[in-house]
Every structure is written in structure tokens, then in C-alpha cells.
Amino acid sequence: MIIELTEEQRSLQEKFREFVDREIVPYAAENDREEHLNPAMVRKMAEAGLMGSMLPTSVGGSGFDDITIGLLNEEVGRGCTSARNLLTVHGMMGLALLRWGTPEQKKTWLPALADGEKIGAFGLSEPEVGSDAKSIQTTAVLDGDEWVLNGVKRWITMGMLADVFLIFAQVDGQPSAFIVESDRPGFSRKPITGMLGSRGSMLAELHMNNCRIPKDNLVCKIGMGLSHVALSCLDYGRYTVAWGCIGLAQACLEACLQYVKTREQFGKKLGEFQLIQKMITEMVVQIKASRLLCLQAGYLKQVGDPDGIMETWVAKYSASVMVSKVAGDTVQIHGGNGCHQDYPVERFYRDAKINEIIEGSTQVHEYLIARNVLQSV
């Protein structure tokens, strides 16, 4: 077994890193402070082809392999969690259509999503429904040639930015997926501000009040919305969130290394104290361990192995728990400075926690991973 990036993957990784340092890192604090993604940054991401990073070249995407997609999300996650969130939810919409869309839906949406002309997002969560996705209350009723949607979606990442949403609704009690454009009659949205972390992710509450969409906007079959559409989207979501955690943890580590080599206490650099060294060691080892799990999940995805789904759960669980610990230690090492916005690490700490909630909470992961292994013996 060889665990080594190809020359092309290494080269792209370097390009991603340079791009993130140049075009994303300078906006990260502003995105957080203003609770808004800087439009120039989003435009640069689109110009660089990042919005099509998860789509094949046949529809105008980059055609990256799964490992390269992971490396991209690591680097973007290192720069700005909200920018990585954009890639995640936008990709979930695109991949849903690529996998389950009709030829017409693919033709209409995939090239526009791939070049960033249109931004997509994913609408599953509701005010009363989080982990228990089967219980969504939004409904869709067929009326002639149109679906009529009613309901509220909450915590929708990029909800204030997206042009088009993948909305999940019950059709006679059967969860189903729909394309809902933001300019459809009966559709409205309200920003959600004041979040703990990922504050640049432009969260929204989406309201569908007799929102009418064409009959052809149904994605896949009635009743397959969760089992096939949402779960395949969430698999990509979980994978990119996991890699984003690696990137965020790497940002924490790099901030710590810089700090402990310059900050002095008791006449010595912080890095000379053994308790600080212990924290640094744990960061290095935990980041490497989670990165290896992400690489393993990426490899299995690339070869189409069904175990890739479960290994992605494992990787996301490991990476999201790991980044919370790493970000906590990062603030600890920075002391008072780590608690103030003059240093980015307080943002890292707030952003880190969100990863334990999105794309399946830590507890849902614990339940599912344990259940899977218990079933296998």
C-alpha cells in the first residue's frame, strides 16, 4: 500500500495553497465580522474554477479526483471556514443534479453551477427538524403542471447568497427533492445573524408560501429524496467538512508555531516549555491521524467502494472532534491574545465548534459508527 499524493495532486495542492493565501485569507476576518462573504472573493473563487471543483469537465467542471477535491477543501478550510462552506453546499446541489437530475436539469444547471454563474445551496433542516430528517414538515403538492411548496427551512448555509436550492419536502408523506429558484413566486428568505461561528456563511431561513415551481423541478423520484438524493449530497458534504476541519486545524497549528517561537515568558520562548510542546505534539499527531482517515475515505470514494460512505462518517467524526480540541488548545496557548479578535485564533475556535454540528452531529456519528460495527460482528 502506498499513501502518497501523485505529482499532479501535489502540484494542485501547492496552487490551492497559494490561491487561498492570496485570495481568501485576506478576507476571512472581514467575512466573519460582516457576516457576509466578500463578493470579490467569491468572484475570484469562481474565476479560479473552484465552484466547479466537484463537477466533471463534461459539464464545465474541473474534473478533479476525490483526493484533489479533499486537498482543495483542506486549503480553503485553512483560509476561511465560510468559504469552504460555500464549496460544500454549492457542490451538494451540483452533485445531486449530476447523479439524479434529468438530462434537461443537467443541461440547465450544471454548466451554470460549474462556472459559478449560479450559486446552489441545500435546504433540508427546518425549525423543528435537524438530525431527524425523515420528519421534515415542508410539503409539496402537485397542482396541474406545477408543484406547490409550503414550509420553512432554517439554518440554510449560503441561503442569502444562493440562486437555486435543493429543497426537500414531503409528497404525501414521501420525502422528495426539488429544484427551487430564489425568484419563484411564494419564495422568500430572511438572514440569520449572530451565529457562534462560520459567521460568513450567510445563513438564511427560507419561506415557501404556496411557492410554485414547474413539475419538472422534481429531482429523482418521489420518495427517494432522502435515501438517495440527500444521502449522496450529504456524503460529499461530510467529506468536504472533514477536509475543511483538517485545514482549520492546520491553520491553528501554524498560528501556534508562529506564536510560541516569538512569545516569551519567564525569559524563554513559549515553545521551550514542555507543557506547550505536549500540546503542539498532540496537535501534530491528531491532525495527521485525521488527515489519513480523510485520505482513506477519498481513496475509497475514488474507486467507488461502498465502504467509502462509512469511512467518510469515520473521517468526519475524527476530524470535527479533533479540530475542536486543537482550536481549544490554540486559544489556550495564545492566552489573553487568543481571546481577542486581533488574533485569528478566537475565530478558529468559534468556527471549529460548528463542524461538530453540521453534516451530522458528533452524537449522530457516534450512534451510527457504533451501530455499523456492532452489526458487522
The 348-377 site mask, x for binding other proteins (CB under 8 A), equals --------------------x--xx--xxx
- Contacts of residue 62, defined as CB under 8 A and 6 or more positions apart, other chains included, come to 49, 52, 53, 55
What is the spatial distance between Cα 297 and Cα 57, in angstroms, rounded to a whole number?
23
Task: Considering the candidates 7, 205, 359, 366, report the single residue annotated as catalytic.
Answer: 359
CA-based nearest residue to 252, from 161, 355, 344 = 344
Of 285-324, which residues contact other proteins (CB under 8 A)? 303-306, 308-310
What is the spatial distance between Cα 319 and Cα 291, in angstroms, rounded to a whole number?
8
CB 87 → other proteins: shortest distance, Å? Answer: 21
Angle made by CA atoms 349, 351, 353, in degrees to the nearest 5: 75
Residue 359 appears among annotated catalytic residues: yes
The 88-107 site mask, x for binding other proteins (CB under 8 A), equals ------------x-x-----
- Contacts of residue 116, defined as CB under 8 A and 6 or more positions apart, other chains included, come to 42, 43, 45, 46, 47, 50, 51, 52
Contact status: 221 vs other proteins (CB under 8 A): yes
C-beta closer to other proteins: residue 194 or 306: 306
Contact status: 228 vs other proteins (CB under 8 A): yes
What is the spatial distance between Cα 341 and Cα 151, in angstroms, rounded to a whole number?
38
CB 150 → other proteins: shortest distance, Å? Answer: 25
C-beta closer to other proteins: residue 109 or 349: 109
CB 291 → other proteins: shortest distance, Å? Answer: 24
Q: Kindly compute the dihedral angle of the four CA atoms of residues 270, 318, 2, 7, in this order, to the nearest 10 degrees.
A: -70
C-beta closer to other proteins: residue 144 or 306: 306
Contact status: 220 vs other proteins (CB under 8 A): yes
Give me the phi and psi of 207, to 5 degrees please: -115, 125
Question: Residues in the site for other proteins, rule: CB under 8 A?
Answer: 100, 102, 220-221, 224, 226-228, 231-232, 235, 303-306, 308-310, 368, 371-372, 375-377
Return the active site residues. Answer: 359
